[in-house]
Structure 1
Amino acid sequence: MYEWLDTLPASVVISDSVVRLLLSTAILMVVTLVLRALVSRLIRQKVNSVELRRKWLINSRNGFLLLMLLGLVMIWGEELRTLALSIVAIAVAFVVATKELILCVIGSIIKTGSRSFNLGDRIQVKDFRGDVIDQSLLTTTILEVGPGKHVHQRSGRVVVIPNALFVSEPVINESFTHEYDFHVFTVPFKRRDDWRAAQAAFLESANRHCAPYLEAVRQYMTRIGRNRGLETPSVNPRVTIQTPVSDEIHLVIRFPTKAGQRGYMEQTILTEVFANNDFLAAHPEPAAEVPAPTETSLS
């Protein structure tokens, strides 16, 4: 059963350089221990003060220990250098192989330290947008909202985002204020349409639907601004104008709403305004006439 013990010395090959290093190490340790014993004996015999004798014994012990460590470094320096290079190569290979996992852990630390969002918040990272339902060391899980960044209904899909994205991509938190929030949407019109009437209709509808909780929103935003050192924004609904192209006018409607009701309020206002009004131009431009084909063109 123990026959392998007889073959062990023959299978272990020790080079001459290692033998010299081991011999040097043994000589260093023996010499250091002998010198320490001699010095300690001399201190006990020659120093009469108990306190001074204890101090010198401790200093001599630490000095010989440091001398032994320096001697070992000098003896094994080349081998230690080779070992360090091997360890560095292994560490570099490990970092390259696990780069994504390391980035995920760093991203988790960043989002936790910055407190950029919490469970239940609606966030957007790159092209991924939805409500956060789970967080772990490596991933963040959201219920997708969309399609697009202007739709506020859930698509029914679950998206698992690697936390590595939080290292290099900005995070948009749409739930910065938890009880009340602002919502903005855009309605395009042609310049010849009755966009002035549409502006008044949207403003009237937004004011009417926001009136029951407008004062509560104002107090809430004032408290948020005071706690975070921000200027309190105006909470009154507003309709502003944009002209992205020469022949179009876009109405930008902004109003306060309760958390989780952005999509509902947007659809309510749009349905009410367009169900009761027609903003098309009274005299639409005639369509351009297409010339009849001639015999030459047919041929």
Structure 2
Amino acid sequence: MDILSTLLENATLVKIIKLITWILFIIFIIGFIRKILKKRIEDISIRYKAQKGVEIVGYVLIIFLVLMAFTVDSIKDYTIIIGLFTAGITFTLQELILSIAGSFYIFFVRVYKPGDRIEINNIKGDVIDIDSIYTTIMEIG
């Protein structure tokens, strides 16, 4: 018991244990979300892109945690930097983000699927393909 209490008094070791715990938790969440996407999305290429997106977000979180664990001790500095960075990125990529959010809505809610007849901006047609940003329709007269 003395050995355990001595080890837990070491601040660096405690940081490493917390970091490893968070990394394992993020890896578990990545796997869980990938399983949900595998069951929910039928199209293989869309499923692959969604799973890759989840992996990339998870790995970015892991890198962020590692940097945070061994650099600046104040979380305020990171929140200010991350806040300004994300505000700039969001403003710059606003239209792309809205398109991707709309495509997630279409994929998960299944508003329409290939083969359905839809009307968008007074253009009627049959849905040919749904991509991550575009919906391709064959226009009808």
TM norm structure 2:
0.50
Match of 1:93? 88
Runs of 4+ residues over 4 Å off in structure 1: 66-69
- Report the CA distance between 1:110 and its aligned residue: 0.9
Change (3 A) 1:115 1:67: closer
Structure 2 match to 1:191: none
Pick the structure with more helix per residue. 2
Do the aligned partners of 2:7 and 2:13 also contact (CA within 8 Å) in 1?
no
Structure with a larger share of its residues in strand:
1
Answer yes or no: is 1:119 the counterpart of 2:114.
yes
SS at match of 1:62: helix
Q: Corresponding residue for 2:36? A: none
Q: Please report how far the alpha carbon of residue 141 of structure 1 lies from its aligned counterpart in structure 2 after TM superposition.
A: 0.7
- 1:61 alignment partner in structure 2: 7
Structure 2 SS opposite 1:132: strand
- Kept in 1, the 8 Å contact 2:126–2:139? The answer is yes
Mapped to 2, the partners of 1:67 and 1:134 lie a distance apart of 52
Structure 2 residue runs without a partner (length 5+): 16-68
Q: Which has the larger radius of gyration?
A: 1
Once the two structures are superposed, what CA deviation does each residue of 1:88-118 show, in whole Å capped at 9, x if it has no partner? Answer: 1111100111111111111111111112222
- Residue 105 of structure 1 is matched in structure 2 by 100
SS in 2 for 1:138: coil
> Which one-letter code corresponds to 1:129 in the other structure?
K
Gaps in structure 1 of 5+ consecutive residues:
1-54, 147-299
CA distance in 2, matches of 1:121, 1:83: 47
Counterparts in 2 of 1:128 and 1:57: CA distance versus 1, 3 Å: farther
What TM-score do the two structures reach when normalised by structure 1?
Answer: 0.26
Q: Mark the CA change 1:130 to 1:58 in structure 2 (over 3 Å): closer, same or farther.
A: same
RMSD: 2.9
Distance 1:62 1:128 in 2: 66
1:265-280 equivalence runs, <5 A:
none
**Cα distance between partner residues in 2 of 1:131 and 1:113:** 20
Q: Is 1:81 equivalent to 2:76 in the alignment?
A: yes
SS at match of 2:136: strand
Equivalent position of 1:129 in the other structure? 124
